[in-house]
A and B are shown apart, each in its own frame.
Chain A
Amino acid sequence: MIEVKELHVTFGKGTPLENHALRGINLQIPEGQFVTVIGSNGAGKSTFLNSLAGEVMADTGSIAIDDQDVTRWPTNKRSGLVARVFQDPLAGTCESLSIEENMALALKRGQRRGLSRSMKKEYKELFQERLSRLGLGLEKRLGDRMGLLSGGQRQAVSLLMATLQPMKILLLDEHTAALDPKTAAFVLELTRDIIAEQQLTALMVTHSMRQALDVGDRTLMLHEGNIAFDVQGDEREGLDVPDLLALFSRNKGEELSDDSLLLG
């Protein structure tokens, strides 16, 4: 259970560039729910994700994970509870380290790291087993540098890395946006499968309204640092993109005019 209360984040406070990015977000995500988040540029999607991960600290408000207040915890301290896949395929992996080293690093997410060897035979077997489900032949390339992989391959591996250890919430930050349509579909399919198999609680930011409705159990729209609408269950069932637009103008009393949001 993730509980966000009155979350405010302001960048550059007291400067001419002051940006009140999050303006009192309230949200509860029950365990096992898969939430998709949409919103135009500057709506606060990334800031919201970053504040859940701990990269951005809240000005006021609180974030609790399973009744534990983590509002002041830095990223590394939250890592046992929060796993992440970044938008940029370069951001989620270490390109100069090998595939197995990247996975070994992720295998210890949220755990104490000592001086024992980072690579063991049973780890390699685990990595090979996980990689083989991708059907990309990566299980035979454990020693290859991550930088040799394509963006799609890296995102797929990032997803496997994020789910090597249990977590309370999986954050997906437009993780298919930088990929070509075919690869994006592959990574999205993999995401759905893994979330369903492991019954993960997940929050996925996307640019596509269509995708937001097709995937997951609940859809949120952020607008100017707040939640414009929040639909789930029967209400969400059968909704189409025009319905979302109507929902938005009803709740906000304005038309949505932003090309950055994909309507399809």
Chain B
Amino acid sequence: MSAIAFFGAIESGLLFGLVAFGVFIAFRVLDFPDLTVDGSFPLGAAVAATLIVSGWNPWVATAMAMVAGCMAGALTAWLNVRLQIMNLLASILTMIALYSINLRIMGKPNVALLGDETVLTPWEELDIAFYLISPILLTLVVLVVYFLLVRFMTSETGLAMRATGVNAKMARANGVHTGRLTIMGVALANGLVGLAGALFAQTQGTADVTMGVGTIVVGLAAVIGGEAIMSTRTIARWLFACLIGAILYRLAIAVALNTDALGLQAQDLNLITAVLVTLAIVMPRMKQLKRSGGAA
């Protein structure tokens, strides 16, 4: 594998690390199966790209993308908490709605960022190989997000959010406003995915309305893969496992696609992902089943 392919995989691994953080908050912390992600990823890209093209500061545009993601997540959770629509269905409704909204935001199916100033532009003047710029910048962003998330999850409110996902009745009995924290958590999750989408658009130089397809599966692959190979004893380690899972997943895909002997091509990506995720979900359960003597 060439250095460019390798750092390309690292770059997208870091981006999907942000997605994995979001998926982790929804699926693991809140036990909320949230497919909004497939819509909030292109939403973040659409908002950032559209604002950048109309001359906004790229960091402000990125922040706005995050806010848009938060709003999408809050909508999903609100449909669930207030209108009592099943969580999975609520997220599908938002995801479908976002397809139209994303087209409205961009006014066309895709927006190119050729020659526009992005968050990467200031770095391009430095004496760094072009394929290293995004990985370095993304590493910084991901680390900041990681430390903020760990700090939040170990705070009083973060602990209450985790309890909401594990045992909502017990959380309520201890004074936790479970509905509010669910909305806050799903909003945060999609804000992170929106951030990932915004950065993806800027590193790839384009935002496309179809770019969200399968985001949730990749995010899940990262979370489940990370959990399978690393310790999840503390929240800090668990989040770190998600990040490593995302990077290793993209590296594994890059290796698979770059190994001619396997005969795999880019169009096989989704199939490989689906198989990997299925295996990662079933394997730990097989072990559990054996241990408990077959009783579910």
A residues sitting closer than 8 Å to B (CB atoms) are 53-55, 74-77, 79-80, 82-84, 86, 91-97, 101, 104-106, 108-111, 113-119
CA distance A109 to B156 in the complex (A): 11
Q: Are B162 and A109 in contact (CB under 8 A)?
A: no
Q: In the assembled complex, how far is the CB of residue A257 from the closest CB belonging to chain B, in whole angstroms?
A: 33
**Interface residue stretch chosen among B10-18, B169-177, B198-206:** B169-177
Contacts of B170 in A (CB 8 A): 86, 91-94
CA distance A32 to B286 in the complex (A): 52
> Which residues of chain B in 148-165 are interfacial with respect to chain A, using CB atoms and an 8 Å cutoff?
152, 154-160, 162-163
Main secondary structure on B side of the interface with A? helix
Contacts of A54 in B (CB 8 A): 172
Q: Are B174 and A55 in contact (CB under 8 A)?
A: no
- In the assembled complex, 20 residue pairs joining A and B whose CB atoms fall closer than 8 Å, in A order, are A55-B169, A76-B176, A76-B177, A91-B167, A93-B167, A94-B166, A94-B170, A95-B166, A97-B159, A97-B166, A105-B160, A108-B156, A108-B160, A109-B174, A110-B175, A114-B157, A115-B152, A115-B157, A116-B156, A118-B156
B178 within 8 A of A: yes
Chain B: interface residue count, which band?
A: 20 to 34
Q: Are A75 and B156 in contact (CB under 8 A)?
A: no
With A76-B172, A82-B173, A118-B154 already in contact, 16 other A-B pairs whose C-beta atoms are closer than 8 Å: A53-B173, A76-B175, A76-B176, A77-B175, A86-B170, A93-B167, A94-B166, A108-B174, A109-B174, A113-B157, A114-B156, A115-B156, A115-B157, A116-B155, A118-B155, A118-B158
Q: Are B166 and A108 in contact (CB under 8 A)?
A: no
Of B154, B160, B169, B173, the residue contacting A113 (CB under 8 A) is: B160
Contacts of B174 in A (CB 8 A): 79, 105-106, 108-109
Which of chain B's residues has its CB closest to A164's CB?
A: B174
Contacts of A86 in B (CB 8 A): 169-170
Of B152, B159, B162, B175, the residue contacting A111 (CB under 8 A) is: B175
Q: In the assembled complex, how far is the CB of residue A87 from the closest CB belonging to chain B, in whole angstroms?
A: 12
Q: In the assembled complex, how far is the CB of residue B223 from the closest CB belonging to chain A, in whole angstroms?
A: 15
Of B155, B162, B177, the residue contacting A94 (CB under 8 A) is: B162
Q: Are A109 and B175 in contact (CB under 8 A)?
A: yes
Given contacts A95-B166, A97-B166, A113-B160, A75 and B173 within 8 Å (CB-CB):
yes
Contacts of A75 in B (CB 8 A): 172-173
B residues sitting closer than 8 Å to A (CB atoms) are 152, 154-160, 162-163, 166-167, 169-178
Given contacts A93-B167, A115-B152, A119-B154, A101 and B172 within 8 Å (CB-CB):
no
Q: In the assembled complex, how far is the CB of residue A158 from the closest CB belonging to chain B, in whole angstroms?
A: 9
Q: Are B172 and A105 in contact (CB under 8 A)?
A: no
Q: Are B162 and A97 in contact (CB under 8 A)?
A: yes
Contacts of A82 in B (CB 8 A): 173
Q: Are B167 and A94 in contact (CB under 8 A)?
A: yes
Contacts of A74 in B (CB 8 A): 172
Q: In the assembled complex, how far is the CB of residue A105 from the closest CB belonging to chain B, in whole angstroms?
A: 5
Of A55, A79, A91, the residue contacting B175 (CB under 8 A) is: A79
Contacts of A111 in B (CB 8 A): 175
Q: In the assembled complex, how far is the CB of residue A71 from the closest CB belonging to chain B, in whole angstroms?
A: 17
CA distance A77 to B155 in the complex (A): 21
CA distance A181 to B261 in the complex (A): 65
Which of chain A's residues has its CB closest to B152's CB?
A: A115
Which of chain A's residues has its CB closest to B176's CB?
A: A76
CA distance A65 to B156 in the complex (A): 27
Q: Are A118 and B176 in contact (CB under 8 A)?
A: no
Of A55, A83, A104, A109, the residue contacting B159 (CB under 8 A) is: A104
Q: Are B172 and A115 in contact (CB under 8 A)?
A: no
Q: Are A55 and B154 in contact (CB under 8 A)?
A: no
Of A91, A105, A108, A116, the residue contacting B169 (CB under 8 A) is: A91
Q: Are B175 and A117 in contact (CB under 8 A)?
A: no
Given contacts A79-B172, A105-B171, A109-B174, A117 and B160 within 8 Å (CB-CB):
no
Q: In the assembled complex, how far is the CB of residue A74 from the closest CB belonging to chain B, in whole angstroms?
A: 8
Q: In the assembled complex, how far is the CB of residue B231 from the closest CB belonging to chain A, in whole angstroms?
A: 13
Which of chain A's residues has its CB closest to B173's CB?
A: A84
